[in-house]
Amino acid sequence: MKRGRIIAVLGCFLLAACASGRRENPDNQPVRVPETTVVRQALGSNGHIFTSIAIEQGYFADEGITVEFVPVANDTEVFEGIRDGRIDIASNSGTNLPLEYISKGLDLTVFGGYMLTGCMPVFARTETEWHGIEDLIGSTMACEPNMFAITGPLLDMGYEPLEDITWLNPDNQEDRIRAVESGEADFGLVGTSLNYEIITNPDLKILTYASDVLPQYSCCRAEALTSWVNANPNTVIALLKGWIRAMAYYDTHHEETVHLTMNLLGEEEEYVRAYLDNPHCDLNVDPMKSAVERAWKYMGRLGLLDIDAAGIDINDHINVDLYKIALDECQAEYGEENPRFYERMQAQYARNNQ
């Protein structure tokens, strides 16, 4: 059987499994029954705002699941944990890394999102002039070259960014800041959590943000082993419903979320507001298939994927159907609480997941 037919049959199986996994409650309203009641989510130092809201507000409890955080020190631990079954889902490891692992043969499925765009600054010393990302050509950049939000647009401009830029990529992102401060690098780019350190550094300035260079670039997607997603469709829907409701809460309770995040991370208010109050920080549960496909193409053109990636159809590793079921159910059950939010999410789904 050809792979396309396998996926089609599997999609029918998933929808049937979702339907058969529903039971009737005393009011004769269908209730979805998760296949497993505990979801183990990888969590580094940055936290997961939607999971924290869903736990605090009881959204996961409403869906019959519990989410347990599995502490990890780095992204290598995340994907090793997924591979060996200690971790069920990842959500804070970017888009580039899961795509790299898929290209190397790890059978992952993207089924949702966390950050659509992060608050990721491109920065330099205060005396540096800035005309646009073409200024990076011929410079030394403290960043990983697989940051397609920067390298992809440069590729479209006719440059060969992996060759035309000298890449300095220390393991610790704070060392990127030190490299720019010392003059070892001309420019740098760091993750959302370090935005505050750049803002408060008198020797540095923010030139632009990754989301200005490539809008809706897809920062952090949610992924799991394809086998786990296929075996637990109702659990995935329950997880997504908790996240969608948490996003709706975040939409109307920004201040409460700021203080929740402060407590979650044990950080000062100024640190948390440096990114949560910044419009470049776009938290979004939608899987954003179009953005993931674009990222895969950029990384392929840049030579950042494994040589076997040419035989992989990335569409086989993106499941938008479970998210749509979750969104539809949330709108039907909770849409009156925030009608504009659900209308906006439905329109976004239609634009980006065909």
Structurally, how many domains does the chain consist of? 2
| pLDDT mean over 58-72 | 96
Are both 297 and 348 inside the same structural domain? yes
Give the E-state strand segments of the chain in sequence order. Answer: 22-24, 30-32, 38-43, 66-71, 89-90, 108-113, 115-117, 121-125, 140-142, 166-168, 187-189, 204-209, 221-225, 282-283
- The reported pLDDT for the residue numbered 263 is 87
Are both 113 and 125 inside the same structural domain? no
Are both 234 and 107 inside the same structural domain? yes
Output the six-digit token pair for 98: 């899961």
- The reported pLDDT for the residue numbered 337 is 95
Model confidence at 29, pLDDT cuts 50, 70, 90, reads: low
Are both 173 and 291 inside the same structural domain? no
Among 135-139, 195-199, 342-346, name the one with the lowest average pLDDT: 195-199
CATH of the domain at 72: 3.40.190.10
Are both 238 and 201 inside the same structural domain? no
User: At residue 279, does pLDDT exceed 60?
Assistant: yes
Task: Determine if residue 303 is left, alpha or beta; phi over 0 gives left, psi from -120 to 50 gives alpha, anything else beta.
Answer: left
Q: What is the pLDDT of residues 257-278, one digit of tens each?
A: 999 888 888 889 998 898 899 9
pTM of the model: 0.89
DSSP state of 308: G
Q: How do strand 115-117 and strand 282-283 relate by DSSP bridges?
A: antiparallel
Residue where a domain terminates, one of 171, 196, 213 = 213
| pLDDT mean over 108-114 | 98
Which amino acid, one-letter code, is at 78?
V
d(CA 212, CA 165): 20
Instruction: Pick 26 or 339 by higher pLDDT.
Output: 339
| pLDDT mean over 81-91 | 97
Q: What are phi and psi of 39, to 5 degrees?
A: -115, 125
d(CA 285, CA 240): 8
Are both 87 and 162 inside the same structural domain? no
User: At residue 18, does pLDDT exceed 80?
Assistant: no
Residue where a domain terminates, one of 213, 244, 262 = 213
- The reported pLDDT for the residue numbered 30 is 61
Model confidence at 123, pLDDT cuts 50, 70, 90, reads: very high
Highest mean pLDDT out of 75-79, 107-111, 166-170, 259-263: 107-111
Are both 111 and 141 inside the same structural domain? no
C-alpha distances out from residue 228 to 72, 91, 167, Å: 20, 15, 37
- The reported pLDDT for the residue numbered 318 is 98
The torsion of the CA quartet 193, 69, 333, 329, rounded to 10 degrees, works out to: 90
For the chain, percent helix, then strand, then coil, each to nearest 5?
Answer: 55, 15, 30
C-alpha distances out from residue 42 to 53, 69, 117, 145, Å: 16, 6, 20, 24
- The reported pLDDT for the residue numbered 91 is 95
Are both 209 and 249 inside the same structural domain? no
Among 139-143, 260-264, 332-336, name the one with the lowest average pLDDT: 260-264
Are both 332 and 236 inside the same structural domain? yes
- The reported pLDDT for the residue numbered 45 is 65
Are both 9 and 158 inside the same structural domain? no
User: At residue 10, does pLDDT exceed 70?
Assistant: no
Are both 253 and 176 inside the same structural domain? no
User: At residue 252, does pLDDT exceed 50?
Assistant: yes
Handedness of CA 291, 295, 296, 300 (dihedral sign): positive
**Which structural domain, as residue segments, surrounds residue 82?**
3-117+219-352
Are both 244 and 113 inside the same structural domain? yes
Residue where a domain terminates, one of 164, 180, 213 = 213
